[in-house]
Amino acid sequence: MGRIFKRGPIYWIAYSYRGKEHRESARSESERQARKLLKKRIGETSAGTFIGPNEERLTFEGMAELLLTDYQINGKRSISTLRGLIRHLSGSFGMSKAVDITADRIAAYIANRQRERAANASINRELAALKRMFNLAVRARRLNHAPYIAMLAENNARQGFVDHAGFVAVRNALPAYLKDPITFLYFSGWRAGEMKALEWRDIDLDGKVVRLRPEVSKNKDGRVLPLAGELFEVVERARAKRRPDCPFVFHDDGQPVGNFRKAWRTACKAAGLNEILVHDLRRTAVRNMVRAGVPDRVAMALSGHKTRSVFDRYSIVSESDLVAASERLQAHLSTQAFERKVLALKSERGKQPRPSSRHA
C-alpha cells in the first residue's frame, strides 16, 4: 500500500489515494520516522481524513488570508485591528510554513513579546488570532491538526472611573466641538464609536429617544436611549448646530468626529487626571446607574451589555463606596441597644441535684 525511499539523506514516503500516488518528505533521516509517517498516511486514507502534502504548501500568509476572509464574510468591523495583530505575528512567523509553527516556537514568540514589555492582554489578542488561523485551516482540511496555544493570565483589567467633578474639569479643558460628545458619552454609557456614528435619522426629539441602529452597535443589537436632563440638552444644542450637508449629530465643522485621543490626553493632563481613558466614561456611566438604583437588567439594556460577566466587571466599587458602606455599618450598630440578660436555668422537676464527684 506504500513504500519508503531516500532522496539524499532524507527519507520519503509514497502511497496511493483515490488512484493517485502521493509522495512527501518525512523530513527525517530516520527510517523509523518515515515508516511511522507512512502508517499514519495509510490510516488517514482508510479513515477518510487524509490531508497529506497540502500541509507542506500552507504558509503563515495563507492562514492569515483565511482569517481575513473569515472576517470579511462575517462582516466584522474590527478588521483593521486584526491587520495590526497579523503584523505583530508576521515578525516571527511571516516566512514560515504552517507545519513549522510549533508549540515551542509559539512559546518563544510569547517570551519575546514579554521582553518587549507587551501586556499579557495584547499578547493574548495576537495568540487568539493565531489560534483562529489554525482552526480555520483545519476546518478547510488544509491542516491535519493545530498546535497547542496556551493563553496568558490577564491581571490588567482596568478599574478606572471618573467622579463628576473630574468629568467637569476634563470637559472644560476640551475643545468646543468635543464638549457635547463627551457629555453624551458620560451620561449614556455608549461606546465612542456609537456616538460618532449617531445620525439625525436616529433621533426622535418628539418622543425624546435615540434609536441606535444594529449596524452601528458593536454587538449588532439595536437599542433605545431615552433623552432626559442633560442628555436632552446636549441633543438640543446639537440641533442648533445642525448642518444640512452633514448627517451626523456630533461633528467638527461639518466633518465626522475623528480620533480625539490627543485632545483627550491634553484635557486630562490639564485637569490632573492623567490615567483616565475615554472608555472609562462608559464604565463610570454603568457605576452611576447602579448607584442610582437602576435595575441591572435595565442598565444593561441602556449601555448595550449582552453578558452579565462584562457588566459586573464594569460595575466598579470605588474606595469611597467601601468607606460609605463601613460608615453605614457603624451607624447601624450604634443604634442597637445591647442588654446583657442572664437567664436562670430551671432544674427539671423530680430530679435531684447531681452529687459532687469530689470526696471529702
CB neighbour class for 249 (10 Å; exposed up to 12, middle 13-18, buried from 19): buried
SS3 248: strand
Contact predicate 199/247, CB 8 Å? yes
Q: Quick one: cell of 85?
A: 495583530
SS3 199: strand
Domain residue ranges in the chain? 2-50, 60-139, 164-314
For the range 265-269, what are the long-range contacts, defined as Cβ-Cβ under 8 Å and sequence gap of 24 or more? 266/173, 267/170, 267/171, 267/173, 267/174, 268/170, 268/173
- pTM for this predicted structure: 0.58
Q: What is the pLDDT at residue 307?
A: 67
> For strand 2-7 and strand 10-17, is the pairing parallel, antiparallel, or unpaired?
antiparallel
| CA separation for the pair 6, 8 (Å, rounded) | 6
Per-residue pLDDT of the chain (360 residues; tens, 9 = 90+): 789 999 999 999 898 877 778 888 888 999 999 999 899 888 878 876 666 666 778 999 999 999 999 999 988 878 888 999 999 999 999 989 998 899 999 999 999 999 999 989 899 999 999 999 999 999 988 887 889 999 998 765 555 678 889 899 999 999 999 999 999 999 988 889 989 999 999 999 889 999 988 888 877 778 888 999 999 999 999 999 999 999 999 999 999 999 998 999 999 999 998 778 888 888 888 888 877 888 877 877 777 777 666 566 655 555 556 667 777 877 877 776 555 555 555 555 555 555 554 543
| CATH number 1.10.443.10 given to 164-314 | yes
